[in-house]
Amino acid sequence: MLACLQRFLNRPLAEDFSFRNQLFSSLRGGVYVFLFISFFITARFVPTLSRTQMLVLLAVGVVIATLFANVAIPRLFPQLYDEDRWTVWKHSLHTVLVLFCVSLSNHLLLVLTDNQTPSFGGMFLSVTIIGFFPITLSVLLAQQRQLKRNLKQAQVLNEGLLSRHMAPVLAPVSESAEVPVPTPQALISLVSSVGKDRLTLQPAQLLVIESVGNYADVYWLHEDTLQKTTLRLTLKEAETTLASHPQFFRCHRAFIVNVQAIHHTAGNTRGYQLTVSKLPQEIPVARGYVEAFDQKIR
């Protein structure tokens, strides 16, 4: 039982803390609070404000509080809100934080308008009961839809990858036909931004470039054997160097991959996981790169 709970809490989740996405989410929260209090809570407010005006004020407070919790706090603490490490348990704790901010907003508005105010503990308990399960359920349902979409699309991409790898083998060649000579591709030279370190490769040799701080780990093949070279090079600099080679794709903030070396694609809630020739670890495709990756593989 504990093992099942632990697996559930450690499940990966994809969350978008961008202002645009969270603005729509906050507006939905404000509308939800307005409608819930209108229909299910009969509390009376001071006569200086009508019931409708007070409900609008509380709804606006919810919008501002949720925007603060979902936009400002993740930007203040980016390491804690790393999307690549976002899980169910982290999202549950964050939901409690959102509800705390909403409770604080409601409490302050009631005090400032001279309304009868419950204790903050009572307010927080009420807000948690009203909001925790709808928020959590909506997130999990959205994640299930995203997972279903990514799994289905990964299957389509794998069919394309399979046909791409098999095409040269299955193409009929007559005995009298001339076999076309492949056009040689320009060499790739990855040069360290400091010093004289240089790595020169054929495009087919280069598999993946991974950003590690101010350095880049370059994974490449030498006579079918995997090699790793570390250069003082940013991913942006590597991306500029590879701009004339369309088979290379920036799939994540920390990875550039050779799409011609991809053997398999697996879907998850965050995006895709790529299996690359000879590479032991999978390469992630982040949510923000999924649509461009789909177009690239097609």
Task: Report which of residues 74 and 18 the model is more confident about.
Answer: 74
Predicted confidence band of residue 169 (pLDDT cuts 50, 70, 90): very low
Task: Please provide residue 89's backbone torsions phi and psi, each rounded to the nearest 5 degrees.
Answer: -70, -35
Please tell me the least confidently modeled range out of 30-34, 111-115, 193-197, 241-245. Answer: 193-197
pLDDT above 60 for 177: no
Print burial letters for 157-173: b (CB count within 10 Å at least 16), e (below 16): bbeebeeeeeeeeeeee
Supply the mean pLDDT for the chain: 87
pLDDT at 184: 58
Predicted confidence band of residue 110 (pLDDT cuts 50, 70, 90): very high
Task: Please provide residue 99's backbone torsions phi and psi, each rounded to the nearest 5 degrees.
Answer: -65, -35
pLDDT at 176: 53
pLDDT at 167: 55
pLDDT at 102: 95
